[in-house]
Structure 1
Amino acid sequence: MAISLEHLSQVLSELKPALIKGKIQKISQPLPESISFEIRRPGQTVTLYISTHPQTARIHALTQRLPNPTTPPQFCQYLRSHILGAQIEHVVQVPDDRVVWFELSVKHVTQYLVIALTGRSANLFLVNHKHEVVRSLKPDSQSAQRIQNYFNTGQKQNREDPDTDSPSEASSRSFPISAMLEQTFHDLEQNQAQRQLQEQQLAALRKAMKKAQRRVNSLTQDLEKAQRYCEYGRYGELLKGQLGQIKRGQSHVTLIDYYDEHLPELTLPLDPTKDPTWNLNDYFRKYRKFTGAQRKVLPRLEQAQAELAKLTEDFQAAERGEMKPPEFPKPKPPTSPRASKTQKTALPYRRYISEDGFSILVGKSAKDNDAVTFKVSKQDDMWLHARGTPGSHVIIELEKKKQVPPETLKDAATLALFYSDLRKSGKGEVIYTLRNNVRKPKGAKPGSVTVTQEKTTWVYVDEARLKRLKDSVPSMITD
């Protein structure tokens, strides 16, 4: 159930005074299909939450902080690089549609955030001043035409924004519509998560029940086969008393059953190709199959039947919604201080974000260079190194057959030069090639590689570029 047109209009009317002229201070992506913006105006800070999930697409203010991934996704990184610190100039809703666009001012350049809360096609777009889509949260093959239609329709709306709050008014303003939507969608997502968990648990229990049933059937068949030999111990004892009278070639022998009070005659089959002793031992061997099954197979069958009964009980409880929390094994404590230290191994690289939102990895040492190049990176990534001098291996993480934007290549080359022995000179030549063209010679020292099909670029260490790269990941410690 995505947000309704009526609720969208209400929540925008409620939030506009607190958003207009506000600045975007923080950008987070708590879930794959959602983005949150922390917007600051004098006297008040509002956390705006946008979800593009087909079933729960909505926009409202948040009262609770949501957890965020340790490493932000690429779309979030791109937004941080391009609209962090932007001021919201206008908030426009497309008439009779669940589409909103924010006009942003970023360093005297106009950009737009277009928020489409339209069910399955819900998405979030970053659009430049020419109304061209720069990035989108989710892939959208028809985004260009859709965006143009949104703007053409939205321009017809009166763009007079409401009066913004004064600092004293902002500090006391509340958002009841947002609070209602937040609670409603929280309950809906909780119910959906509960149903999904129930379905997953039922599916897992069905699979476990089928496996347990097959095991019960297999053990039952084994026990039934062995049950045929339950009297063979008695037959062997009777045959033992007549062993001297049996000749090779007999197909059967007739005996008196002394274990029966009526003393009936009993005919036992024999293998005529075997001697009497072999036939006697064969009867006892088959009897041991029966006793072995009683000793080993029967307890396993009883255990399997108990497991099947327990799984059936759990399945019935899950169907009624009486789900039990999953049991996780308790983690084993480290056996020694050294073991606990090895669990906190540092990454072999520094991570930066380029102007275009691409991840750039820089090896920390010669040994780490080998790890970054031959363990962390992929064949289609771009590899860089300062020419003719010791330095870090630099990797631009790319999707398959993805081209490197010029600014990203300059960013990576600057880092390759900065983390090399050419750092003091501030200029030099950097080689680059696909990671697939880099090889490690047998017996070579750590960090030593051979490169083919390389290209070169001449770069200077631009302090402004370097500062932007260092600031691209605030939590990162650089030297």
Structure 2
Amino acid sequence: MGGVLMPLDGLGLHALVYELKNTIIGSKIEKIYQPDRYEILLHLRKPQENIKLLINSHPVLSRICITTTDKKNPVNPPPFCMLLRKYLESGEIIDIKQKGLDRIIEITFKSWKDEILMLYIEIMGKYSNIILTDKEYKIIDSLRHVDPEMSRVRWVMPGEKYVYPPPQNKLNLLSSNNEDIIGALNIPSTGSMSNHIVKSLEGFSGFLANAILMSCKLNPSDNVDIKNMDRVIDEIIKIKNKLQNNQYEPTLYLEKNEYKDFLPFNFDMFDSIRFNSMSLMVDEFYSIKELKGLINDRSSSLLKIINSNLDRCYRKLENLQDELASGKERDKYKEYADLIMANLSNIHKGMKSINVVNIFSESTSPIEIPLDPSLSPVENAQRYYKKYNKLKNSIKYIEEQIEETIEEIEFLESELNNLQNIDSINEIEEIKNELEAIGYIKQDSKKKVLTIKSKPRHFLSSDGYDIYVGKNNYQNDELTLRLSSANDIWLHTKDIPGSHVIIKTNGNNITDETLDEAATLAAYYSKARHSSNVPVDYTLKKFVKKPSGAKPGRVIYTNQKTIFITPIEEKIKSLKRIED
């Protein structure tokens, strides 16, 4: 399912414009916002209906669609937002159209002064732009200026006349007959079949070209073969007929259960999700992509902090274990000292070693004792006694340090697991707060005290029992120690970082199926998500305790049983998720 990925191809835009014509034409512009440098949000009003039209010119996420997502707006609106408010607010949308099958959309407005204005949305990757003109196509302003130093071909500056980007001389299906399509695609060409289609036909993305070729049982990466082109042309003519008749099947395609791409047409050979609306599909696809991008950006600094501290802890643990191994030789030094004292008459100053019978060994075998020639026999014995006592006292300290270091590693690995399972930006802030509270990040003295903002993941088992899954360590403590009852069931992966899971039993005996589903959640939201036969411990909550002074999320438990689970994502998705 590879190929060249366009943010939104021309055929998808054609379906979107058809849908938007029936939705936004006749609507009044109530308010305009600019949530970030790339994005404009128009709040539209129609009788009995409020609509949010999102226009985005991000290099990768550029799109236009109706959205249901709430956006946080800056306190001080950017200049371009203020200009749009001046010209467009209280106006009316009177038309929307696409330039051929290119990724250019023109929305026509009638302002409150009865002036005609046009907003051009160019969805072109890193060259994407939003441009406002008057009815004579004179540019009033644009989100992104293009001056003569940036382009010798086309300027986008206030006062300049708006002209379309240079044409790519591709065939437009809607203005071409079938003979034109046959002629364009039967021209010999180098390169892959997929690229041949994309270069020949306007508005075709690499993904759409791949889908057409695969539906014809052809490999998209194979070189162009005119002998196989008849089947491809037949499929493309079917696409043309669907475009002409506005017959769309908005379909979101999946790869490894992740959103891969989308098209206004359905191809059965791929895993997919069908939508009733192009706008809803586009909004869903890009909202998820946008959220993942933001999460990756904002979590990267925390990942560095966690991994850096994990490396430090692993090195510290290795050194401590080496010291412990050395310390366990302390009995040997006492034995040396005792043997020296038992053989004082045979030892004199200046000797580098002595062989004596080991009276403390059952075999009474001889043993060689290293000596310091500068010391007397008694001083050599005292040196070994001193070494023995020093190691004896240090071992307890080393063992305490090892236990503390292992606990710190468990905490950091659990934070790493939490960070890899986050669903929202707020959850990143909660993890950051945890790291600040413990001292891994310098805390801002002006910052408010940590409060738990998000709620645990909430699922309903197939038998109707509530199952809760913690999202971070503070939330794990809150869920286990304060929100659950004594006879609820607590689950956690055995010796593996992961979330606390609670089954609310309401005093009942739960079914094996509910237990299996909860254990699957525990394994899925753990470091062992991609493993098989993951051990999951479970016990009644009343047998779970938090040691005094323990780090967030750390508990000890007794009376547990163990169930082995292979976490399957489809099983997780089949559970009802409840948004509290």
Distance 1:45 1:314 in 2: 41
Q: Which residue of 1 aligns with 2:372?
A: 271
**5+ residue gaps in structure 1?**
154-175, 333-341, 345-479
1:100, 1:114 within 8 Å by CA — same for their partners in 2?
yes
The alignment status of 1:11 with 2:16, answered yes or no, reads yes
Distance 1:71 1:179 in 2: 36
Distance 1:61 1:118 in 2: 19
102-111 or 200-209, which deviates more: 200-209
Q: Which residue of 2 aligns with 1:69?
A: 73
Q: Which residue of 2 aligns with 1:215?
A: 316
What is the deviation of 1:210? 4.2
Aligned positions of 1:98-109 closer than 5 A: 98-104=103-109, 107=113
Q: Which amino acid aligns with 1:181?
A: M
| SS state at 2:396 partner | helix
Alpha carbons of 1:283 and 1:71: their partners in 2 closer, same or farther (altered >3 Å)? same
Q: Which residue of 1 aligns with 2:338?
A: 237
Q: Which residue of 1 aligns with 2:138?
A: 131
Aligned to 1:121, which of 116, 127, 131? 127
2:41, 2:53 within 8 Å by CA — same for their partners in 1?
yes
2:97, 2:105 within 8 Å by CA — same for their partners in 1?
yes
Aligned to 2:164, which of 124, 130, 150? 150
Q: Which residue of 1 aligns with 2:278?
A: 181
What is the deviation of 1:187? 3.6
What is the deviation of 1:145? 1.2
Distance 2:402 2:422 in 1: 28
Aligned positions of 1:12-27 closer than 5 A: 12-16=17-21, 19-20=24-25, 22-27=27-32
2:344, 2:377 within 8 Å by CA — same for their partners in 1?
yes
User: CA offsets per residue over residues 177-208 of structure 1, 9 Å max, x none?
Assistant: 89723432344246536866589699667666
Aligned positions of 1:159-178 closer than 5 A: none
Distance 1:103 1:323 in 2: 38
Alpha carbons of 1:265 and 1:7: their partners in 2 closer, same or farther (altered >3 Å)? closer
Alpha carbons of 1:283 and 1:313: their partners in 2 closer, same or farther (altered >3 Å)? same
Q: Which amino acid aligns with 1:240?
A: M
User: CA offsets per residue over residues 295-330 of structure 1, 9 Å max, x none?
Assistant: 2323444564576678779989999x8999777468
Distance 2:163 2:53 in 1: 25
Alpha carbons of 1:264 and 1:22: their partners in 2 closer, same or farther (altered >3 Å)? closer
What is the deviation of 1:260? 1.6
Distance 1:239 1:289 in 2: 19
2:358, 2:366 within 8 Å by CA — same for their partners in 1?
yes
Q: Which amino acid aligns with 1:185?
A: V
Distance 1:125 1:284 in 2: 86
| SS state at 1:149 partner | coil
Alpha carbons of 1:276 and 1:317: their partners in 2 closer, same or farther (altered >3 Å)? same
Q: Which amino acid aligns with 2:129?
A: N
Q: Which residue of 2 aligns with 1:298?
A: 399
CA RMSD of superposed structures (Å) = 4.9
Alpha carbons of 1:317 and 1:83: their partners in 2 closer, same or farther (altered >3 Å)? closer
Q: Which amino acid aligns with 1:5?
A: G
Aligned positions of 1:371-390 closer than 5 A: none
Alpha carbons of 1:235 and 1:305: their partners in 2 closer, same or farther (altered >3 Å)? same
Distance 2:26 2:81 in 1: 22
| SS state at 1:260 partner | coil
| SS state at 2:154 partner | helix
Give identity over the alignment, percent.
21
Q: Which residue of 1 aligns with 2:544?
A: none
What is the deviation of 1:223? 2.8
Q: Which residue of 2 aligns with 1:418?
A: none
Alpha carbons of 1:295 and 1:105: their partners in 2 closer, same or farther (altered >3 Å)? same
Distance 1:188 1:90 in 2: 26
User: CA offsets per residue over residues 319-374 of structure 1, 9 Å max, x none?
Assistant: 9x899977746899xxxxxxxxx989xxxxxxxxxxxxxxxxxxxxxxxxxxxxxx
Q: TM-score by structure 1 length?
A: 0.51
Distance 1:138 1:246 in 2: 93
User: CA offsets per residue over residues 384-436 of structure 1, 9 Å max, x none?
Assistant: xxxxxxxxxxxxxxxxxxxxxxxxxxxxxxxxxxxxxxxxxxxxxxxxxxxxx
Q: Which residue of 2 aligns with 1:97?
A: 102
Alpha carbons of 1:210 and 1:287: their partners in 2 closer, same or farther (altered >3 Å)? same
What is the deviation of 1:124? 1.9
Distance 1:152 1:198 in 2: 36
1:238, 1:257 within 8 Å by CA — same for their partners in 2?
yes
| SS state at 1:150 partner | coil
Q: Which residue of 1 aligns with 2:85?
A: 80
Alpha carbons of 1:280 and 1:76: their partners in 2 closer, same or farther (altered >3 Å)? farther
Q: Which residue of 2 aligns with 1:226?
A: 327
2:303, 2:416 within 8 Å by CA — same for their partners in 1?
no
What is the deviation of 1:97? 1.1
**5+ residue gaps in structure 2?**
1-5, 157-161, 168-248, 251-274, 437-445, 449-580
2:65, 2:282 within 8 Å by CA — same for their partners in 1?
no
The alignment status of 1:53 with 2:58, answered yes or no, reads yes
2:19, 2:278 within 8 Å by CA — same for their partners in 1?
no
Aligned positions of 1:447-458 closer than 5 A: none
Q: Which amino acid aligns with 2:341?
A: K
| SS state at 2:361 partner | coil
Distance 1:121 1:139 in 2: 10
1:133, 1:144 within 8 Å by CA — same for their partners in 2?
no
The alignment status of 1:286 with 2:295, answered yes or no, reads no
| SS state at 2:164 partner | helix
What is the deviation of 1:117? 1.6
What is the deviation of 1:259? 1.1
The alignment status of 1:28 with 2:33, answered yes or no, reads yes
Alpha carbons of 1:322 and 1:194: their partners in 2 closer, same or farther (altered >3 Å)? same
Distance 1:110 1:208 in 2: 61
Distance 1:230 1:68 in 2: 67
User: CA offsets per residue over residues 416-470 of structure 1, 9 Å max, x none?
Assistant: xxxxxxxxxxxxxxxxxxxxxxxxxxxxxxxxxxxxxxxxxxxxxxxxxxxxxxx
1:89, 1:105 within 8 Å by CA — same for their partners in 2?
yes
Aligned positions of 1:247-396 closer than 5 A: 247-301=348-402, 304=405, 328=431
Q: Which amino acid aligns with 1:145?
A: R
Higher relative contact order (CA 8 A, sep 6+): 1
2:33, 2:77 within 8 Å by CA — same for their partners in 1?
no
What is the deviation of 1:37? 0.5
| SS state at 1:213 partner | helix
Alpha carbons of 1:242 and 1:182: their partners in 2 closer, same or farther (altered >3 Å)? farther
Distance 1:186 1:208 in 2: 39
Aligned positions of 1:191-202 closer than 5 A: 191-192=288-289
2:98, 2:105 within 8 Å by CA — same for their partners in 1?
yes
